[in-house]
Amino acid sequence: MKRRLSKLMPFVYLAIFLYSGYLLAQYLYTYVESASSLKETQQMYEVALENTAQVAVTEDVKEETLKEGSIRPQFEELHKVNADIVGWISVEGTNLHNPILQAEDNDFYLNRNFTRESSRAGSVFMDYRNDIKDMSRNTVLYGHAMRNDTMFGSLKKFGEQDYADKHPIIFVDTLYEGYDIEVFAAYETTIDFYYIETDFQTDEHFLGFLEEIESRSLIDMPVEVGLDDRIVTLSTCNNSVNSKDKRYVVQGKLVKR
């Protein structure tokens, strides 16, 4: 029996080696595919922004366009590729520079890119309960914590005061408006804290929610948030060991540009 096992062991080791290689190849492909897809999207968006900046538009025309409900020029080409694209999020000096998708649930873009193709890296996407035409008291965005700091891979860095001080603004542009997100909180939590609440029944409920956020925050930012304000929540899985139920959260005050 022992002799049989000893003869089988090389094959077992080989199988383990091949399977480990397969998993590594899948892992590396995720980053290659994600980088390629993201670069394509970024180029489309940046070219559209440049073209928009070169067009002189009067204030009267701008108002007329908004009244008609037309999307902003920089999103026209992207919207032709995928009508689920509802905006763009970026932080200066970082690798966070992504389109924002929105589906009819919070599962569809977990493992799909901006062209709806299968992708383990997924996309940055907005909670299906939110409405870009009428931003609620809490707009929630989700994204994977990629190790190369793309998507929401850099969120955890906001828990360091120095990093937060250097990156106090997160830029969010929707199809219709542009916003500055003034960061005021960053922390690790579990799913027991319902930080993705979007509908608050009373003002007291919302105030209690803000107080809970501030009590959990690892950073102290010069941003005041009250009843009349709206916030944006960025959520990602914690990429540490045994983090199935852990999340990393960054929240900021929504300020229209």
* Tally of structural domains, the chain: 1
Q: What percent of the chain has pLDDT over 70?
A: 77
CATH number at residue 138: 2.40.260.10
Q: What is the pLDDT of residues 3-29, one digit of tens each?
A: 554 555 554 444 444 334 433 344 444
237 catalytically annotated: yes
Determine which of 1-10, 84-93, 210-219 has the lowest per-residue pLDDT on average: 1-10
Q: What is the pLDDT of residue 195?
A: 97
Determine which of 66-80, 153-167, 209-223 has the lowest per-residue pLDDT on average: 66-80
Q: What is the pLDDT of residues 225-249, one digit of tens each?
A: 999 999 999 999 875 444 568 999 9
Q: Which of 35, 103, 196, 237 is catalytic?
A: 237
Judged by DSSP in three states, 174 sits in strand
Q: What is the pLDDT of residue 170?
A: 98
Calculate mean pLDDT across residues 147-161: 91
Q: Which residues contact 150 (CB under 8 A, 6 or more apart)?
A: 34, 35, 38, 95, 96, 98, 121
Residues of the domain holding 126: 2-256
User: What is the identity of the amino acid at 80?
Assistant: K
